[in-house]
Structure 1
Amino acid sequence: MANTLDPMDLKQILTLHLDSYSNRKIGSVLGISRNTVNTYMQLFAGSEYSFQELLSFDTSALSELFSSHTTMDTARHNELMLYFEGVNKARKHPGFTFLYHYQQYVDLAAEPYSYTQFLEHYRRKYPKEKGSMKLQHIAGEEMFIDFAGKKLQIIDRHTGEVVPVEVFVAILPCSQYTYVEACTSQKRADMISCCSNALRFYGGVPKAIVSDNLKSAVNRSSRYEPDINRSFKDFARHYNCVINPTRGYSPQDKALVENAVHLAYQRIYYPLREMTFFSLKDLNREITVLLERYNNLLFKRKESSRIELFQRTERQYLKDLPADTYELKDYKRAKVQKMGYVYFSPDKSYYSVPYRYIGKETTIHYTKSRVEVFYSHERIALHQRNLIKGSYITNTDHLSSTHRFYSEWNPEFFKKKALPHGEYVLACIEKVLASQDYPEISYKRSLGIIQLYRAYGSQRLNNACKRALDTDACSYLRIKNILKNNMDRVHLLDDPTQQIQPHIPFHSNIRGASAYE
C-alpha cells in the first residue's frame, strides 16, 4: 500500500522533479517508495495546474488537493470501512473484542487484511487521542483526594491473618504537598476521618475538596450535578468548604493526585515492602516518616521541596480550622410516640421531644456523643447520647404540664407541697411516705390527702391530720371521713384520766365499779 504523503513531501517531489530528478532518484533521496512517487507524479500531471503553480501553493491548498490520495485497493478498502461501522456501534457492549470482529471479517471478505492492518485502519478511521490541557492551580483553592489502587497489609498478631488495608492520598495541587494515611476501608467513616486528618496535617482548609465518585462520597454520580453523600456534605459544612466530585471516568480532572498515588508506590510502598506491621498505628507511624522524607525532596526544576513551596506559596491562603474536630453524623427516621419520645434504634433507647410533636415524623441526627431530633429541618431536641440500652432520656421542658407534674413526684416534692397547709399535714404525709415499700402507692395517697384542702381548707385539713396522728389513722380515707363527719372540730382531751370519767352525774344510790370488787 502506498502512503498518503505530507504536503511538505509533495513540495519536495515537485522541486526535485523540476530539477530533472527521475522518479526512482526522487524516491531514493526522500526515502519514499518509487511506486508512491510514480502515483503522485501521475496525479500532478492529471491536475489542472502546472508543476510551477502546484509548487507555489501553500501546504493547506496542497493538502486539500491530494490528502485523500492512496494507492490501496479502493473496493477492498471500502468494504473494510463499511464493516467498521458495525464494529464501532458494538464497541461499548460488554465483552467486546477486536479479535472477535476480525474473525467475522475474515469469513466475510474475499481478500481480508491482516489483523495488524485491520487495527491500524480502524484507529485511523476512529482516532481516540484527545488533547490534554495544562491546568493552572490557585493556592489554597483545592485539595484532591483519592484511594490508592494497591493496598498495604498488616498481620493480625493473634491469628496470623494477613489483613489488607486501604491507603488514602491527599494533595494540594499548587504546592503538591502530599498527605498519605492507611485506613481499614474506603467506607464513609474512614474516608471522612482521613479527610479530617489531612486538613489537620495541612493546618488549614481549602475552598474545595475534589473527590472521586466513590460511594462513600457520592450517592449518585453525575457529570453536571452529582448527589453528594449527606455525611460528607455535613463534613464540608463543618469545615466551611465545598465538595466538588470529578466527572465519571475522567481521571484527568485530578491528574495530580493520580500521579501522587504512583509516587507513593515508589517513595512509600517500595521501602515498606519487606517490613511487617501488626497494627494500623505502627504502619501509619512508618508512613509518616517516609512521607516527611518525600515532601522534603527537591523538585529538579523548581529547586525547592513540596514543604517549602507549601509554606511559601500556599499555607497563607488556607482558611483556619474550626475549634472542634468534626464528629461523623448518621441519620435515622423516627415517629414521635404518644408518650412524647422517639425510639432510637442503634441504642434501643428513647429520647424526649416537645409534646406538641406527638405523631410527627422526625429525623434523628446522631454522633458518638449527642443525639439531635429535627422536624422540617428545624432542631426540636438535643440530648447527650446515652449508650445504656432501654433507657429513657428526658428533658422536663419537653413534657406537658400534666406529665411534668407527674415526673416531679418524689418524697421531697410531697413534703414541700404539704408544708404550707400545716405541721400536722406534713407529719401525716411523712408517715404515709414511710409506710409503703412501693413509692407510687404512697405518692398517690399523699396527693389525695393534700388535695383535700381544696374542699375543706388548710386549717381543717391540718386539724384532721392532727386527729389522725393521735389515733394512728393516717390514711386518705380516714382523714376524708374525719373531715366529712366534722370530727376535726371535736377536740380530744389531753388528760388520760379524764377520758374514763362517766358522763352520768354522781348520786349516792348509784353504785360504781368499786361495789363489785
Structure 2
Amino acid sequence: MSKIRKILRMYHHGRSIMSIAAQTDASRNTVKKYLTAFKDSGFAFDEVNALNDKELEDLFGKSKEKAPSGMMLSMLRCFPHVDKELKRVGVNRQILWKEYYKEFPDGYKYSQFCFYFNQWKARVNPVMHIDHKAGDKLYVDFAGQKMSITDKETGEIIEVEIFVAILGASQLTYVEAVMSQQKEDFVTACEHTLQYIGGVPDAIVPDNLKAAVTKSSRFEPTLNETFEDFADHYGTTILPARAYRPRDKALVEGAVRIMYTRIYAPLRKAIFHSLKELNEAIRVELELHNNLLLQGRNYSRRQQFEEIERHVLAPLPVLSYELKKQFHATVMKNGHVCLGPDKHYYSVPYRFIGKKIKLLYSSASVEAFYHYERIAMHKRTRGAHLYTTEDDHMASAHQFVTDWSKDKFLGWAASIHEDVRLYIHNIFDRKRHAEQAYKSCLGILGFSRKVGNERLILACRRGLSYGIYNYNTINMILEKNMDQYEDSLFAGELPMPDHDNIRGEDYYK
C-alpha cells in the first residue's frame, strides 16, 4: 500500500509514467492500472490518500477485479465516525444508519450497512469470539449512567449507582440500585445476585474497581480482602478483568447498554422517594427483560437459564455472607483489646499481650486474629468503655499472677485495716471481671511498704469520702499529703484568715 501511495503522490506532483515506474521499481502497466483505478474512482488525491491501508486495498488490490464504487467509499469513510458514536449512551446502529441515509439517499439499506460495518470492524479491530459455558462465569459491573431518588421532605435529588450482573451462558441479568460503589454496597449487591439466580457460578468477573481489586495487575491483581472473603464463603473464584481491556467483560458492557433502553428509559419520568421503591420498579422491568424473547430466537433469557444453566450452578450455602470490617489494635496489659469504632474491650489469651492483632467484626460477632490464626471470638457488644471477658482468656499463664484472686486481695487489705478492705472491695464491685481490678489493688496495697500502713489507712479513708475508687486517687492523696489534713479542715471548717480587706460580720449590721 505504501507503493501505491507513492505512485499516486508522484502522479499528483506531475511526474511521468516512465519516471514513476523507474522510481517505484514497478512496470509501466502496473502504474497505468493504479492510475486508471484512481481516475475511475472520481475522488481527489487528498481524499484517496486519507484512506487507510485496507480501504486502499479495496480500491487497488489485486483481489479486486473492479474498484469499489463511490457509494462504497462514501460509506467506508463514515465507519470511523460510526464506531466512535456507538460508544455514546443511547446511540445504536439504527440511529447512525438513519443519519447516513439522510446524507446519502442513494446509499446502502440498513442490513447492508450493518453487514459491511461488521466486516470493516473485524478488519480494523479484530476480536476473539468467546463461547460461554453454562455455570462458568458471572460478569458484574456498575453502569456509567446513574439513576436518582428524591428526598420526600427536602426535595433533594440523590444520585444512586446501578449494579448490573449477567450470566455468561444464559445471559440472565440482574440489576439493583445501590447508594455507592463502596465495598459494602458492592458485596451486598453481589450477594443479592446469587440469591436471585439461586446458585453460585464457578467464577465472578468484576471490573478493576477498588471494591473488588485493591491493586490491578496484568498477571496477578491484588483482590480486596472483603470481596475475597465473600468469594470463599460462597465457594467461587474471583477473576478480575484486565485493566483497560473492556472486551474481557464485553457481555456485561452490552447488558449495561441494553439496560439503558429496557430500564432507564421506561423509568425516566418516574419519581422515587427511596432506594426500596426504585428497586421494586427496576425488578418489574428486569423481569420483562429476562422474559423477552431473544432476537432471532424463540426463547428468552429466563427460559435459557432454566434449561441449561440453573442445574449446573453450585448450591447456595445455608448461611448468608456476613459483611465484615477489620480493625488493627494492640493487646493491652490487662489482656484486652479495644475495638475502636465501639470503644468496647474484648479479651484475648494472655500470651498475646503487647502483640498487634487484627479484629474482623460484623454486626453480630468480633473475631481476633494473630498471624492468620483466630485466637478469640466474641459476640459483638456496642457498649462504650465496657469489657467483654472470657474466663479462659483471663487465666494467665504468667507465674506471678497464678495465685491472684479477689479473696486474696481482700484478706491482704483486711490485715491492714477495715477501711482499706472496704476501699478494695469497692474497686472489685465496679469491675465486670475480678481480674480487671488485680493491678489496681496490687498498686494500692503496695503503698503499705512505701509509706506505711498508717498513711495508707488515712488515704483510703479520704478516698472513701470522695467516692472515687481507683489507684490514681490513692496515689494523688499520698503525693499531695492530703492524708495529713486535719479532719475539720477536710470537712470544710476552714479558719477565717485575718486581713484588712475582709470587712467581717459587724460591717453588715
TM range (shorter): 0.5 to 0.7
* Whole-angstrom distance in 1 between the partners of 2:404 and 2:185: 46
For 1:147, the equivalent position in structure 2 comes to 142
Structure 1 residue 131 corresponds to structure 2 residue 130 = no
Task: Please tell me whether the aligned partners of residues 396 and 404 of structure 1 are also in contact (alpha carbons under 8 angstroms).
Answer: no
Write the letter of the residue equivalent to 1:384: K
Provide Cα deviations, 1:220-266, integer angstroms capped at 9, x if missing partner.
11111101100000000000011110011111111110000011000
Task: State whether residues 374 and 380 of structure 1, in contact with CA within 8 Å, keep that contact through their aligned partners in structure 2.
Answer: yes
Amino acid at match of 2:343: K
The SS at the match of 1:191 is helix
Q: Tell me the CA shift for residue 438 of structure 1.
A: 7.9
> Which of 213, 219, 228 does residue 214 from structure 2 map onto?
219
> 1:285 pairs with 280, 284, 288, which one?
280
State the Cα distance separating 1:63 from its structure 2 match: 6.9
Q: Which residue does the alignment assign to 1:164? A: 159
**Pairwise CA distance, 1:31:** 6.2
Aligned equivalents of 1:297 and 1:233: distance in 2?
34
Runs of 5+ consecutive residues of structure 2 not aligned to the other structure: 6-28, 43-56, 63-121, 412-417, 435-509
1:397 corresponds to which residue? Answer: 392
Distance, in Å, in 2 between the alignment partners of 1:223 and 1:284 is: 35
CA distance in 1, matches of 2:134, 2:166: 12
- State the shift of 1:330 in Å: 1.3
User: Which residue pairs with 2:317 in the alignment?
Assistant: 322
Q: Aligned to 1:33, what secondary structure does the other structure show?
A: helix
**Superposition TM-score, scaled by structure 1 size:** 0.57
Q: Which SS does the other structure have where 2:254 is aligned?
A: helix
Superposed displacement of residue 303, structure 1: 1.1
In structure 1, give the amino acid aligned to 2:250. Answer: A
Q: Distance in 1 between matches of 2:128 and 2:40?
A: 41
Give the alignment's Cα RMSD to 1 decimal.
3.9
Deviation at 1:440, TM superposition (A): 3.9
State the one-letter code of the partner of 2:321.
Y
Q: How many angstroms apart in 2 are the aligned matches of 1:330 and 1:35?
A: 68
Q: 1:33 aligns with which of 39, 42, 50?
A: 39
Tell me how far apart the structure 1 counterparts of residues 124 and 280 of structure 2 sit (CA, whole Å).
43
Of 270, 276, 291, the residue aligned with 1:275 is: 270
**CA distance in structure 2 between the aligned counterparts of 1:193 and 1:235, rounded to whole angstroms:** 10
Q: Is the 8 A contact 1:2 1:33 kept in 2?
A: no
Which deviations, in whole Å up to 9, do the C-alpha atoms of 1:305-361 show, x marking residues without a partner? 000000000001100111111111111211111110112111111110011111112
- Alignment counterpart, residue 181 of structure 1, candidates 168, 176, 183: 176
Letter of the structure 2 residue corresponding to residue 251 of structure 1 = P
In 1, the alpha carbon distance for the partners of 2:41 and 2:320 equals: 76
Give, in whole Å, the separation in 2 of the partners of 1:218 and 1:2. Answer: 45
Which residue in the other structure is 2:370 paired with? 375
Q: Deviations over 1:478-508 (max 9, x none)?
A: xxxxxxxxxxxxxxxxxxxxxxxxxxxxxxx
2-structure distance, mates of 1:297, 1:404: 73
Match of 1:239 in 2: 234
Tell me which amino acid in the other structure corresponds to 2:216: S
Asked if 1:305 corresponds to 2:300, the answer is yes
Could you tell me the percent identity over the aligned residues?
45
- CA distance, structure 2, for counterparts of residue 341 and residue 350 of structure 1: 6
Describe the SS at the equivalent of 1:365.
strand
**Matches of 2:39 and 2:428, distance apart in 1:** 116
Q: In 1, distance between residues paired with 2:41 and 2:242?
A: 49
Instruction: For residues 133-169 of structure 1, give each alpha carbon's deviation from its aligned partner in whole angstroms, at most 9, with x where no partner exists.
Output: 1101010011000000000000011211000000000
Aligned match of 1:50: none
Determine if the alignment matches structure 1 residue 355 to structure 2 residue 361: no
C-alpha change, 1:391 and 1:403, in structure 2 (3 Å) is: farther
Q: Is the 8 A contact 1:142 1:207 kept in 2?
A: yes
Choose which of 381, 387, 404 in structure 1 pairs with 2:382.
Answer: 387
* Aligned position for 1:295: 290
Shift of 1:129: 3.1
Structure 1 residue 296: deviation in Å?
0.3
Matches of 1:377 and 1:208, distance apart in 2: 25
Deviation by residue 1:388-421 (Cα, 9 ceiling, x = unmatched): 11111100110125879867x59xxx9xx9xxxx
Cα displacement (A) at 1:183: 0.4
Structure 2 CA distance for partners of 1:2 and 1:27, relative to 1, 3 Å = farther
Query: What is the distance in 2 between the residues matched to 1:350 and 1:404?
Result: 23
Query: Per-residue deviation at 1:192?
Result: 0.2
Following the alignment from structure 2 to structure 1, what is the Cα–Cα distance between the partners of residues 202 and 125? Answer: 30
Runs of 4+ in structure 1 deviating by more than 3 angstroms, as ranges, are 1-5, 401-407, 435-444
Count of matched residue pairs: 324
Q: 1:245 to 1:34 in 2, by over 3 A?
A: closer
- Contact 1:436/1:442 (<8 A) preserved: no
CA contact (8 A) 1:2 1:35 kept: no
1:166 and 1:182 in contact (8 A); partners too? yes
Amino acid at match of 1:386: T
Residue 260 of structure 2 is matched in structure 1 by 265
Listed as ranges, the gaps of 5+ residues in structure 1 are: 6-22, 37-58, 65-126, 418-431, 445-517
The answer on 1:249 being equivalent to 2:244 is: yes
> One-letter code of the match for 1:184?
M
Q: Specify the structure having the higher radius of gyration (Cα).
A: 1
1:361, 1:375 within 8 Å by CA — same for their partners in 2?
yes
Contact 1:331–1:365 (Cα < 8 Å) also in 2:
yes
